[in-house]
């Protein structure tokens, strides 16, 4: 068995102006407008937390993040460059596995989102940047924990 196919964790910075979207990215359905706005707000507040995935130079997972970051004025985006030795079937499996994990993550987050966002808005209005920074660090760690599980 060729284990070299499993090496696909090379993270690179890609210029957003050069990004092309592969048709495999459509394995994830378009998100609703309010969910897209939440994604954009999340990126604006915390930056890019999860790299997109590219295969042979094209985005196969992360087209909504690409669009949001372009709209927010970012020039580059972090990407995991999938191994070129992977077959299309193997890439499709990787893309679909993130769809399942992402759905589970969104369901868990949305149940707590209103409370967290109201606290963040209150602290922002009070200019309590120390508390906001602690919350930011906590939320980033929690999202990483969810993505790793």
In a domain, 117, yes or no: no
Alpha-carbon gap, residue 134 to 149, rounded angstroms:
23
Cβ-count burial 38-59 (b if 16+ within 10 Å, e if not): bbbebbeeeebebbbbbbeeeb
Number of domains in the chain: 1
In a domain, 130, yes or no: no
Range(s) of the domain holding residue 7: 3-110
In a domain, 27, yes or no: yes
pLDDT for 147: 61
The CATH number linked to 59 is 3.90.1530.10
74: three-class secondary structure by DSSP: coil
Mean pLDDT by 10 residues, the chain (149 residues): 50 93 82 88 87 92 94 95 88 70 50 69 80 79 67
- Output the pTM of the full model: 0.64
């Amino acid at each position: 068995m060729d284990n070299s196919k499993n090496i696909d964790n090379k993270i690179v910075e890609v210029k957003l102006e050069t990004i092309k979207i592969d048709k495999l990215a459509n394995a994830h359905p378009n998100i609703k407008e309010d969910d897209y706005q939440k994604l954009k707000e999340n990126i604006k507040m915390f930056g890019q937390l999860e790299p997109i995935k590219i295969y042979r130079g094209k985005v196969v997972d992360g087209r909504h993040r690409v669009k949001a970051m372009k709209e927010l004025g970012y020039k580059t985006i972090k990407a995991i460059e999938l191994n070129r030795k992977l077959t299309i079937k193997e890439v499709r499996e990787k893309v679909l596995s993130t769809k399942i994990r992402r759905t589970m993550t969104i369901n868990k987050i949305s149940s707590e989102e209103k409370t967290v966002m109201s606290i963040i808005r209150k602290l922002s209005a009070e200019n309590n940047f120390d508390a906001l920074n602690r919350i930011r660090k906590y939320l980033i760690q929690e999202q990483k924990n969810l993505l790793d599980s």
